[in-house]
Structure 1
Amino acid sequence: MSRGFVKEDDQEEIPIVPPRADLPEGVINYVTQVGMDELLMEKQMLNDEREHLNISNEKERRIAVNYINAKLQLLNNRIATAKIVDLKMQPQNEIRFGALVTLKIGSDTKLQKYQIVGVDEADISKGKISFISPIARILTNKEVGGKAILKLATEDRVFEIIEILY
């Protein structure tokens, strides 16, 4: 039957689900083990939320379930495409995926620490930056004592590598 013959009250809103962190087409979805554990925990939380919805209105319940299912579909795709990187197998003297890097930035005397992680795990407030970020890209393959330069519109920001841990 054509949608033109359906009562307006029967039409459900299509849930608008915010996209997950950007992962460019063709880029491998690298994750740390911690990142994979977080994705799996998020999946469990969404499944639990769907199972324990406390909504008596049937239409509102269907909309809520559709929203959770849409989020789960995006999440399941990320989990299915994730490639866990074993940090013990990374070259310990070079910055690669998973490295926790201590940096001196420009003339700032306070040292900064960043870990290079997957796109879903990245959270600058926790010192975790995505492996596809400009900073991670310029730091990759550098060693302790090395410098990386990030060209900004008004200046060149110099990052000096102080320590690399995995």
Structure 2
Amino acid sequence: MSKAFTKESDADDEEPAAEPQLPPGAKNYMTPRGHALLKAEFDHLLKVERPQMVETVSWAASNGDRSENGDYIYGKKRLREIDRRLRYLTRRLDDPVVVDPRAQQGIEQVFFGATVSVGEEDGSQHTYQIVGVDEADPAGGRISWVSPLARALAKARAGDVVRFQSPAGMREIEVLEVRYLSDPPQPASAGEK
């Protein structure tokens, strides 16, 4: 059968496995910074990248034979990627719960948005901010609120010792400080890891 009469691929319509997932029924918590980043990405894709790619695909299509036209083939693929990402961002931005850490002053327990300094058993110290699943960056000190570490830290106070199961096995850490900042922590230096 001619390729012209077949669907290109069902995999093109599926969400990529790399997209972070929320637990079923969970609210989509995010910080104002995370919300602004997702909104900016959505606006850029919708108002800049997609129109440029549509123009490129239209130009490539007008050149004739599409089966061997690299600009057309790549352009259509990129349009599908952009549209997939726009659908994903639309779902994420549809009903977010934006929590501003600065509005949580005076809270001594760890909740969403907290910046937590912890001490490891080996004496090293690390600082993490608990953020939404789309803004998590463990290397940058931002962990998702659904991660095992963030769940273990939930409701802990300075001085508490928390045990949790990590990919490396059972770990025990001490909560040294709980703060609510607007800026995420700086990545740990090589000496702290």
Give the TM-score of the pair, scaled to structure 2: 0.74
1:102 maps to 2:117: yes
1:18 maps to 2:13: no
Equivalent AA in structure 2 for residue 98 of structure 1: G
1:109-157 deviation digits (Å, cap 9, x = unpaired): 2210111000000111111111011110110111111111114588531
SS of residue paired to 1:64: helix
- Judge conservation of contact 1:12–1:63 (CA < 8 Å) in 2: no
The correspondence of residues 48-87 of structure 1 with structure 2, limited to 5 A, is 48-53=48-53, 54-55=56-57, 56-58=59-61, 59-60=72-73, 61-87=75-101
Equivalent AA in structure 1 for residue 36 of structure 2: D
Equivalent AA in structure 1 for residue 101 of structure 2: L
Name 2:64's counterpart in structure 1: none
The unaligned stretches of length 5 or more in structure 1 are none
After superposing the two structures, state which structure 1 stretch, 149-158 or 132-141, moved more.
Answer: 149-158
4+ runs deviating over 6 angstroms: none
1:74-120 deviation digits (Å, cap 9, x = unpaired): 111001121101223435211110111111011x2221011100000
- Judge conservation of contact 1:13–1:63 (CA < 8 Å) in 2: no
The unaligned stretches of length 5 or more in structure 2 are 62-71, 181-193
**Structure in which a larger fraction of residues adopt helix:** 2
Q: Percent identity?
A: 31
Give the TM-score of the pair, scaled to structure 1: 0.84
